[in-house]
Amino acid sequence: MLTRKTKFLLWTLILIFSAGLSQAQARDYISIVGSSTVYPFATVVAEQFGKTTQFKTPKIEATGSGGGLKLFCTGVGIEYPDMTNASRRIKKSEVELCSTNGVKEVVEIKIGYDGIILANSRKAKPFRLSRKEVFWALAKNIPDPGGQQKLIPNPHTRWSDIKPGLPATKIEVLGPPPTSGTRDAFVELVMEEGAKKFDWIKALAKSDKAKFKEIAHTLREDGAFVEAGENDNLIVQKLDVNPAGLGIFGFSFLDQNGDKIQGAFVDGVEPTFEAIAEGEYPVSRPLYLYVKKAHAGVIPGVNEFLNEFTSEKAWGEDGYLADKGMIPMPEEERQAFRTDAQKLNTLNLE
Amino acid sequence: MNNTEPEQTDAAQPESPRTIDIVNKGLAKRYGREKRFKMYGFFAVAISLSFLALLFLTIFSNGYSAFYQTYVKLEVFFDPADIDVDDPANSNFPGLVKKTLRSEFPDVKKRKEKKKLYSLVSSGAAFQLQRMIEQQPELVGSTMTIEVPADDDVDMFMKGNISRDVPENERRISDRQLDWIDKWLKEGRIAKRFNTTFFTSGDSREPELAGILGALTGSIFTLALTLLLSFPVGVAAAMYLEEFAPRNRWIDLVEVNINNLAAVPSIVFGLLGLAVFINFFHLPRSAPLVGGLVLTLMTLPVIIIASRASLQSVPPSIREAALGVGASKVQTVLHHVLPLALPGMLTGTIIGIARALGETAPLLMIGMVAFIVDIPKGFTDPATALPVQIFLWADSPERGFVERTSAAIIVLLVLLVVINSLAVILRNRFERRW
Amino acid sequence: MSKQKKYTREQRGTVGRIESDNPRMTCRNVNVYYGDKHAIIDVSIDVGRNEVIAMIGPSGCGKSTFLRCLNRMNDTIPTCRVTGDIFLDDTDIYEKNIDVVPLRAQVGMVFQKPNPFPKSIYDNIAYGPRIHGLVGNRQEEDEIVETSLKKAGLWKEVQDRLNQPGTSLSGGQQQRLCIARTIAVSPEVILMDEPCSALDPIATAKIEELIDELREHYTIAIVTHSMQQAARVSQRTAYFHLGDLIEVGETKKIFTNPQHTLTEDYITGRFG
Ligand SMILES: Nc1ncnc2c1ncn2[C@@H]1O[C@H](COP(=O)(O)OP(=O)(O)OP(=O)(O)O)[C@@H](O)[C@H]1O
Ligand SMILES: [Mg+2]
């Protein structure tokens, strides 16, 4: 004995449901997946594009670079994404995966750079570190200082243990978990480079890659390195109350929170916008956008979106992406990739 | 207690003590235990309530400021030279905003300074003007005072999140910009107002333009579908299992599996949804349709278990009474057992739905963790959900998103309170009938 | 103990005449098991047309269990198993494809514990007639509710609170409500399990009057702990003991001249 009210409720729900289903099935918006590092930049372009054109705002998912490329390479058709963001270059294996699935023509557009920074609270003095010192501070196992070619557990507890000039505070670095692109970039650009300062380890990089990665990529688990979760805002807040701590970020967080945190000098270079743009600051990585050529002209707005992305007002030196903390490429590079984007020149990995 | 009298009455059995004496002796201990137990209970409740209060307090104190937004009054001349009435989308509205700002401060000449000046108001201002012209083309050529949203940095400054005292190069508002803001302040042209944008627009990368309506709509679509599917299916399944199914090994197996499913991590349902609904049935990614289906799978076990428990709690005498007057099995269940069990089933459903409302993990796999500006209009439009929006904002570098994250959490909490009160009201309604 | 010869444990058969001249229900070799527990042991008895049969016996001897067999109410207990034959007129009610719905419409039951529906007093009575389609309109429904309540002696107390829940009544009122509910569908056989256990003498008299009245058209089996009641209302009496049917016979004979020691002990109050 359903009451009249329950019946009424049921029918309204069914009505809402069928009204929702009767929407058009063909996709009239661009679908983008990929890196969470590029996400904050690609979304600004998407929003601008949606507001200034007749096209719908593209949908952007943050799936990570690897996850994005995997989705991107699943096939050609409206159910697959049109573009993917990546905070690293596409791998050969991924290109092969793409082409076995019919995604033969891929346009590669480098969009700019992102700096990885180490930062501490403004309440303390700025750090001056070399990549070797960072490796000495954070690697789980470090080379025996006695000169032998073997590893010992990292004995350093204070920065001053590493080099007398450094502050006598506890080593405490907050960083992202291994699932994060920032972490990948950090181990690759800082830890690997730091490890290579030891000749025998550098030799390993050629002879035994796996062993080398194990040495360079394994971070301390004794409290000196703390996985602080994906939420970088939280790390900023933690550094604010703990002036001895150091945090690992993408550059945009330093850009937005300059009154609370300051970037550490790495190999003598301060992580400023200009220094990263000029390539002086050593820890930066390129950001990419990959586009399915087959989707241009099928999904409305693909060409126009690329135009917006590669316009000077977006990725130029004074563009809105720079305002959001993305480091622009030099003029000639921008020119080259703009042409690629406009002509849809396809990628050819040799 | 008079001691002499009992002795006389007890004369028949002098050696066996009276019950009342034994009871009296133990009474203090008994009450002590009772008191302690009450105290533990009280403390447990007090502690959990104070944690809850603390949580609410921090979230509220962090988030309430997001319900206000700084606006600037600008004297805009809708210059016919800048505006193409027939094609407003291609007109130079950003230029118009810039021109207006320049005329406010004519002494700003240097390019760098101009850029600083332009960045005082939100990029949304140009869209606001564009929309005005689209709706009222006759405004072209006139001058109007219009309130436009200030840039998020200005907003943060007005809310005290950016301090004047830190050195200039460390804050996002320069000394020059401070001067301009001060002038506006003196003229009373910059002020905080209720932030309607937050409730009427979708996501944005500019904090001052970002709103939760898109995520809220997505959540509503998703949960409506979840409710629509999971409640009837869950109740029917529970009813079948509890009242009609034969007792055999297969049914036991089904039971065990349902109980297991209730404990499966929610991301697994996301993976299942990806494999079945998207990859096999080719339903669209990021759609509330798939989200609703996945959350239905997730909530079904909870609803079935709760519904069965509440069916079991219906006294068998009611079933006997109905069967005794000749009601069939189905009539017995539908007319007598179900109405009695319904409040419990509703509670279970609401708990399941409330849990579904807070889920992000399964939505990640089916593409609902995404930047979506347009407000979804149907079950197949791309959409996110409230908790996803919170997650995305929490990870955004702009400081304006910190308070908006908390504000979105407030909205989510309010929604949960509404849903749970609805459950209580519904339950009382049903219960009052007998 | 002078009549010791009558009682031997090995003698499984029942003392007295189990048959009725004009049987409405015939039970032969009925056994009931709750799991491993053998609750009714090889009971055979007839229930005559237009007669009231009283079932008496010490608590836990299986009276309710046996009564519930007569309209297959035991089906609702998963552990319960019934063997033997029970016929209503000429149909075997335990046959495989017997539909219990018409059976229970024909053989109504008043349960030992009052169990009104958690609905209004009115709906409690009207429910049965409604589902069986005995009433066409509201007026007929009103009529049936009123006459049923009147017969059960409850009308005066509830006539102006028919919309209140049945569960808000007192224990005795609930018991009468359940009687009214049962007779509202006019079953041809009525099984009553201690219908007066919570009633005062006046209400009891009213129910006994009702039973007498119903007997003209219906058949009634009543379980009672009151010897006087059994003597007053029934024509035949059956005495149960630990699952066995010990003695059956005309009520007058049983109460004046019991054949079995156990029966005698019970009705003279020598047995719990
Ligand atoms: N559902 C059940 N499961 C198991 N055993 C049961 C069940 N119902 C009754 N019994 C057992 O069957 C026996 C007979 O019970 P029954 O209820 O028929 O007794 P009774 O004669 O009606 O007693 P009373 O006068 O106290 O109502 C008892 O020993 C009882 O414990
Ligand atoms: Mg009984």
Q: Do B230 and B186 fall within a single domain?
A: no
In sequence order, the β-bridge partners of residue C23 are C48
CATH of the domain at A137: 3.40.190.10
Q: Which of residues 182-211 of B touch A (CB under 8 A)?
A: 204-206
Cβ neighbours for A71, distance < 8 A, ≥ 6 positions apart:
A33, A63, A80, A81, A84
Q: What is the distance between the alpha carbons of residues B331 and B327, in angstroms, rounded to a whole number?
A: 6
Angle (CA) B292 B293 B295, round 5°: 65
Q: Report the pLDDT value the prediction gives residue C2, as an integer from 0 to 100.
A: 42
Specify the residue with its C-alpha closest to ligand 1, atom 25.
C59
Same-domain pairing of A270 and A157: yes
Quick one: angle between helices B400-432 and B386-394, nearest 10? 160
Ligand 1 neighbourhood includes C233 CB (under 6 angstroms): no
Question: Which helix (H) or strand (E) element contains residue C85?
Answer: strand C80-88
Structure tokens at B299: 């909530």
Q: What value does the mean pLDDT of chain A take?
A: 86
The total of other beta-carbon atoms located within 10 Å of residue A22's CB is: 11
Tokens at residue A184, please?
Answer: 């990948």
Q: Tokens 């058709």 map to which residue?
A: A77
CA dist C181 → C123, C148, C160, C186, C211 (Å) = 9, 7, 18, 10, 15
Taking CA atoms, A195 is separated from A151, A212, B216, in Å, by 12, 9, 49
Q: Which helix (H) or strand (E) holds C239?
A: strand C236-241
- For tokens 């009543």, name the residue: C222
Query: Residue A277 — pLDDT band, cuts 50, 70, 90?
Result: confident
Does residue B129 contact residue B76 with C-beta atoms inside 8 Å?
yes
How far B81 CA lies from chain A's nearest CA (Å)? 19
Domain spans in chain C, listed from the N-terminal domain onward? 10-267
Domain count, chain A: 2
ipTM passes above 0.95: no
Domain presence at residue B104: yes
Residue B92's pLDDT is 80
C37 touches ligand 1 (CB under 6 Å) = yes
Residues B274 and B408 in one domain: yes
* pLDDT digits 0-9 by tens, B168-225: 877 888 888 888 999 999 988 898 999 999 999 999 989 999 999 999 999 999 999 9
Choose the residue to mutate in C56, C65, C226 for probing ligand 1, maximizing ligand atoms within 8 Å of C-beta.
Answer: C65
What is chain B's pLDDT, residue by residue, as a tens digit (434 residues)?
A: 444 444 445 445 557 788 888 888 889 999 999 999 999 999 999 999 999 999 989 989 988 899 999 999 988 888 888 787 777 777 788 888 888 888 888 888 887 788 888 889 988 888 888 888 888 888 888 888 989 999 988 999 998 888 888 888 778 888 888 889 999 999 888 989 999 999 999 999 899 999 999 999 999 999 999 999 999 999 999 999 998 888 888 988 998 999 998 889 999 999 999 999 888 888 888 899 999 999 999 999 999 999 999 999 999 899 999 999 989 999 999 999 998 898 889 888 988 999 899 888 899 889 898 999 989 998 988 999 999 999 899 888 888 898 999 999 999 999 988 888 888 887 787 765 54
pLDDT at residue C143 is higher than 80: yes
Q: How far apart are CA A38 and CA C85, in angstroms?
A: 82
Is the minimum distance from the CB of C61 to ligand 1 under 6 angstroms? yes
Q: Are residues B361 and B271 in the same domain?
A: yes
Copy the structure tokens of residue A299. Answer: 């999904």
- Subunit contact C117:B320, Cβ cutoff 8 A: no
Q: Is the CB of C59 under 6 A from ligand 1?
A: yes
- Residue keyed to tokens 């301090």: B163
Residue of A233, A320, A327 to mutate when probing chain B, most B C-beta within 10 A: A233
Whether residue A311 is contained in a domain is answered as yes
pLDDT tens-digit map of A101-135: 999 899 999 999 988 999 999 888 899 999 999 99
> Which atom, in ligand 1's list, is nearest to the CA of C112?
27
Residue B26 in any domain: the answer is no
A60 plus A119 within the same structural domain: no
Degrees, nearest 5: CA angle B401-B402-B407 = 85
Q: Which atom of ligand 1 is nearest to the CA of C58?
A: 25
Residues whose CB is under 5 A from ligand 2 (ion)? Answer: C 64, 112
CA of C197 vs chain B CAs: smallest distance (Å): 17
- Shared-domain flag, residues A136 and A60: no
Based on the fold, state whether residues B245 and B338 are members of the same structural domain: yes
Answer yes or no: is B417 within a domain.
yes
* The two three-digit tokens of residue B205, written as one number: 């990368």
Residues A127 and A271 in one domain: yes
Amino acid at B116: K
- C-alpha span between A289 and A341 (Å, rounded): 10
The burial of B155, by beta-carbon neighbours within 10 Å (0-12 exposed, 13-18 middle, 19 or more buried), is given as buried
Task: Please tell me the total number of residues recorded for chain B in this structure.
Answer: 434
Q: Crossing angle for the helix pair B213-239 and B400-432, nearest 10 degrees?
A: 30
Do the Cβ atoms of C154 and C53 come closer than 8 Å?
A: no
Q: Determine the Cα–Cα distance for residues B330 and B317; give it in Å rounded to an integer.
A: 16
Report the distance separating Cα B360 and Cα B8, nearest Å.
77
Structure confidence at residue A291 (pLDDT): 94
pLDDT at residue C5, rounded to an integer: 43
State the DSSP code for B345.
Answer: H
pLDDT of residue A23: 42
Task: Give the residue from A224, A343, A329 showing the smallest Cα distance to A293.
Answer: A343
For residue C114, count CB atoms less than 10 angstroms from its CB and return exposed for 0-12, middle for 13-18, buried for 19 or more: buried
Percentage of the residues of chain C whose pLDDT score is greater than 90: 58
- Does a structural domain hold residue A336? yes
Structure tokens at B21: 């004496």
CA distance B317 to B329: 14
* Domain annotation covers residue A349: no
Under 8 Å CB-to-CB from C70, ≥6 apart: which residues? C25, C27, C47, C86, C93, C107, C189, C191, C221
Which atom from ligand 1 is nearest to the alpha carbon of C77?
1
Q: How far apart (Å, rounded) are the C-alpha atoms in residues A300 and A296?
A: 8
Q: What is the CATH number of domain C10-267?
A: 3.40.50.300
Chains A and C touch (3+ CB pairs under 8 A): no
* 3-class secondary-structure state, position A300: coil
Task: Give me the number of domains chain B comprises.
Answer: 2
Tell me phi and psi for residue C54, to 5 degrees. Answer: -100, 140
Question: Does residue C224's CB lie within 6 angstroms of at least one atom of ligand 1?
Answer: no
Say whether B325 and C182 touch across the interface (CB within 8 A): yes
- A24 confidence band (pLDDT: 50, 70, 90): very low
- Are the Cβ atoms of A40 and B169 closer than 8 angstroms? no
For residue A101, give both structure tokens.
């699935």
Q: Look at residue B336 and tell me if it is in a domain.
A: yes
A306, A168: one domain: no
Same domain? For B158 and B249 the reply is no
| Whether the Cβ atoms of residue B156 and residue B162 lie closer than 8 Å to each other | yes
Domain with B302, as residue range(s), is: 213-430
**Could you give the CA distance from residue C254 to residue C231 in angstroms, rounded to a whole number?**
9
Q: Is residue A209 located within the same domain as residue A125? A: yes
Q: What's the rounded Cα separation, in Å, for the pair A239 and C81? A: 74
Question: Is A348 domain-assigned?
Answer: no
Domain check: are B153 and B238 in the same one?
Answer: no
Residues B132, B218 within the same domain: no
CB atoms within 10 A of CB A92: 10
Residue B222 maps to a domain: yes
Q: Of A143, A142, A145, A165, which is closest to residue A154 (Cα–Cα)?
A: A142
Give the three-state DSSP class for A161.
Answer: helix
Whether residue B10 lies inside any domain: the answer is no
Other residues' Cβ atoms within 10 Å of the Cβ of residue B22: 10
Interface contact B324, partner C, CB < 8 A: yes
User: Rounded to the nearest 5°, which phi and psi values hold at A341?
Assistant: -65, -40
Residue-wise DSSP of C222-237: EE-S-HHHHHHH-SEE
- Point out the domain boundary residue: A233, A263, A284: A284
Q: Is residue B296 part of a domain?
A: yes
Burial class (CB in 10 A: 0-12, 13-18, 19+), B432: exposed
The answer to whether A122 touches A262, Cβ cutoff 8 Å, is yes
Contact of B288 with B383, CB cutoff 8 Å: yes
Pair B180, B298 in one domain: no
Q: Considering only CB atoms, which chain A residues are within 8 Å of B204?
A: 47
What pLDDT score does A19 carry?
A: 52
Question: Given B132, B162, B195, which residue is the final one in a domain?
Answer: B195
Read off the pLDDT of residues C90-124 as tens digits, 9 standing for 90 and up.
Answer: 899 998 888 999 999 999 999 989 999 999 999 99
Exposure string (b/e) for B338-350, b if CB count within 10 Å is 16 or more? bbbbbbbbbbbbb
Domain of residue A138: give its range.
115-284
Q: What is the pTM of this model?
A: 0.82
Q: pLDDT tens for residues A63-86?
A: 888 889 999 999 898 889 999 999
Distance in Å, CA C192 to ligand 2 centroid: 10
SS3 B5: helix
- The model's pLDDT over C175-192, given as tens digits with 9 standing for 90+, comes to 899 999 999 999 999 999
For residue B270, give the CATH number of its domain.
Answer: 1.10.3720.10
For residues B75 and B157, state if they share a domain: yes
The reported pLDDT for the residue numbered B90 is 73
Tell me the two tokens of residue B135. Answer: 């709706």
Q: What is the pLDDT of residue A9?
A: 67
Q: Is position B397 within any domain?
A: yes
Pairing of strands C107-110, A106-121: unpaired
Pick B9 or C226 by higher pLDDT.
C226
